[in-house]
Structure 1
């Protein structure tokens, strides 16, 4: 029995690639460059499925030129803003995404940036790396204490909620605005 053909447009994790190669006849874009409109249109005639990232754009114009062979666009991304959903639906092409997989990672990056800004991390790193740091003083690079501070979050979606959870670990008082 022939396996369905799958085009993976970007380099993904080894575990993902191993699973795909087990279950599908896979072609991987090892160059790891975004697929162009021309490549997407061509692939629609050669593949049953495409795993793109947010870097590939499925506009109505591109989708209108697709072959009838393509049955699914299985996004390796949280959003689908790069896909013209009505055009894909009209062609009978299913579209999936991976919601919530980046909420914690994004919240962690927000926490990293907040802590870095509060404690002058970039400036401190530069001082150390350039050899400009020669002594300690009580007022040098003190920054702002985050623990126990008040945090405002605009938008309590998945990322906002994950960020609030992490902030509670710093005993922060969380305030938010949500439409």
Structure 2
């Protein structure tokens, strides 16, 4: 007699290939709407599922977990970031948490370089000019941006994505600098031709471009606060494809409006989908709707990792991408 299949609830629409494979393997409840679940809906889902598959739009805090009951055994997150899940409380309640690391590394690094180019070469401004029909032809002084070659790039967070950004930046002739919680091994540093800064303040003050590639944790919340943003050169730009909470967005907006920072490229925002209208109105800012991991290939691979984590757990083993509090 075949073993009883795990009951799985998915909180958002996933790529069709992922949903189809889940149907084959598990007793899965798919989401008809692509709208995020409410808190009450997530709590109800946790009560009736062995496994919950949430995304970064689903906050799962201690109060919600305390209502989950005894059925829930695994939260298999669709995505690498897990700052929206109270992993510590889940662990205390005997609920495992897994994620999908490494899948979006190259895609996010590509988008980081796209934002750097978009801001420094004023691509959105040029696009808007062409779409308005007001372009009068080429001019020697029109739409002047800056050359990437020779510029100093300061990478904040030198994990998988930060290193992938460093490799791309080197190909553009940029000088790579970085600040990280732990210094890289000398061999990796040599391969990337990257200069380490123990002091984030000292690095920020000397860079032409700052790229945020660290996760959001209590220690990185507003790591780029008003004081640190003021250390940036007034002709420098900042790019964020990590988490919006790492930057004090109100302070950044004030400084961009005042010309104290030359520009910004943001794929993530402190208020999630609630974007500061003053930030939206600025011409020296490129805003994207959290597209860093938005490739067909990447989203399918994320789903494959979720399935492997659930299947391994169903077979009585530790999910390969289990997250434990000590990792945070």
- Tell me if both proteins adopt one fold, taking TM over 0.5 as the criterion: yes
2:39 corresponding residue in structure 1: 37
Mapped pair 1:81 → 2:79: no
Match among 7, 12, 16 for residue 9 of structure 2: 7
Structure 1, residues 132-171: CA drift from partner, whole Å, max 9, x if none? 1121122322311113433222322222211111112212
Q: 1:141 to 1:31 in 2, by over 3 A?
A: same
Cα distance, 1:14 vs structure 2 = 1.7
Contact 1:154–1:160 (CA under 8 A) maintained in structure 2: yes
Between 1:165-174 and 1:152-161, the stretch displaced more is 152-161
Scaled by the length of structure 1, the TM-score of the pair is: 0.91
RMSD over aligned Cα atoms: 1.6
Which runs of 5 or more residues in structure 1 are unaligned?
A: none
Cα distance, 1:7 vs structure 2 = 0.6
Separation in 1 of the partners of 2:177 and 2:78? 33
Q: Which has the larger radius of gyration?
A: 1
Structure 1, residues 69-95: CA drift from partner, whole Å, max 9, x if none? 111100002122111122211221111
Q: Give the secondary-structure state (helix, strand or coil) at the position aligned to 2:9.
A: strand
Cα distance, 1:58 vs structure 2 = 1.7
Scaled by the length of structure 2, the TM-score of the pair is: 0.52
1:60 corresponding residue in structure 2: 62
Contact 2:153–2:175 (CA under 8 A) maintained in structure 1: yes
Number of residue pairs matched by the alignment = 179
Separation in 1 of the partners of 2:151 and 2:78? 36
Q: Give the secondary-structure state (helix, strand or coil) at the position aligned to 2:78.
A: coil
Structure 1, residues 114-146: CA drift from partner, whole Å, max 9, x if none? 101111111111110011112112232231111
Mapped pair 1:156 → 2:143: no
Q: Give the secondary-structure state (helix, strand or coil) at the position aligned to 1:174.
A: strand
Q: Give the secondary-structure state (helix, strand or coil) at the position aligned to 1:45.
A: helix
Q: 1:142 to 1:21 in 2, by over 3 A?
A: same
1:106 corresponding residue in structure 2: 108
Misfit runs of 4+, over 6 Å: none
